[in-house]
Amino acid sequence: MDSDDQFVQGRRRFVGAVASGIAAGTAATAAGGALAQGQPPAPPAGRKPPPNYAKPPFQKQRQEWPGLAGKMTPRPDHGETSYRGSGRLNGRKALITGGDSGIGRAAAIAYAREGADVAISYLAAEEPDAREVADLIKAAGRKAVLLPGDIRDEAFCKKLVDDAVRLLGGLDILVSNAAKQHTVESILDLTTAQFDWTMKTNLYANFWIAKAAVAQMKPGSAIIVTASVQAYDPSPNLLDYAQTKAAQVAFTKALAQQVAEKGIRVNAVAPGPVWTPLQVTGGQTPEGLEKFGADTPMKRPGQPAELASVYVTLAADDASYTTGQVYGVAGGRGNP
């Protein structure tokens, strides 16, 4: 190529670059003008619009405990088609209680797509949902371990952790998420049997499983507890449930200090109203379910998929200086 041709091609590249810069500047100016006039700029090319999630009123529906996500209307979004991983949890081993549906399912999907092998615990009646989660984990190229059983039993909780460690080849992340919630309007109607069920599921199991996990975890591991907005803004009809969630916050903060020297981080997530089977199995009254989430500034309940990235962040190594914290995700309601 002679010098004249080189000059011409070089000039073309220069002009192209200048033209691209002018185009970009024009777009930025247009966006700035739109903002100045109170109009939001167009989303960047390739960016999807925000999801248009369902708002109340919801249809009346009821399922027997523990319920199935696949039978809810509308069906919850756990990130099945939307979550995209970026390798933030490559090679990690995670155990998630209540991982068949709701927030636990969203965390399981996200963890697998971020490169982690995942074990989930659930009740035997939730097997259809659990099988769906296992298929999604495997589709992400990761190992799925299904561990059904009742976490109200101490022996099962110890076995749960032991089995997860054995079948996964270790344990780096524990998400203590399974919970029991049942609305009762008056303390006079709150039975000892229900109170005991709630305490065993939400507190005893949380303690038993975390205790077994700490004994197996190495430095760099993380424990994440699913607390609730109920710890800070309790509803009168959730007397037993709200107590357990407040206790979980204290548990998180105390345990974080205990195990910091071991290199284990402990944090909690405090969701607001989230559309999960917990709500259609007695967590809300039929009337409350119809308007579920309407009292938040966003005027709707959250979807499990909207919490997945929080669980990823708290488990990832780049949160290495975060422990003893409570991360609120409640659509603008009273959280820490």
Supply the residues annotated as catalytic. 241
Strands across the sheet containing 173-176 = 144-148, 117-122, 93-97, 173-176, 222-226, 265-271, 326-329
Judge whether 226 and 204 are in contact, CB under 8 Å: no
Spatial CA neighbour of 85 closest among 277, 315, 326: 315
Between CA 90 and CA 294 the distance in angstroms is: 38
Query: CA separation (Å) from 91 to 99, 208, 213, 325, 330?
Result: 19, 26, 18, 25, 31
**What one-character DSSP code corresponds to residue 76?**
P
Between CA 328 and CA 307 the distance in angstroms is: 10
The 3-state DSSP class for residue 172 equals coil
Judge whether 126 and 68 are in contact, CB under 8 Å: yes
Between CA 335 and CA 329 the distance in angstroms is: 8
Amino acid at 19: A
The 3-state DSSP class for residue 281 equals helix
Query: CA separation (Å) from 311 to 98, 104, 296?
Result: 14, 9, 22
b/e per residue 264-297 (b: at least 16 CB within 10 A): bbbbbbbbbbbbbbbbbbbbbeeeebeebbbebe
Q: Taking each helix axis as running N to C, give the angle between helix 239-259 and helix 192-199, from 0 to 180 degrees, rounded to the nearest 10.
A: 30
Phi, psi for residue 152 in degrees, rounded to 5:
-75, -5
Between CA 222 and CA 74 the distance in angstroms is: 33
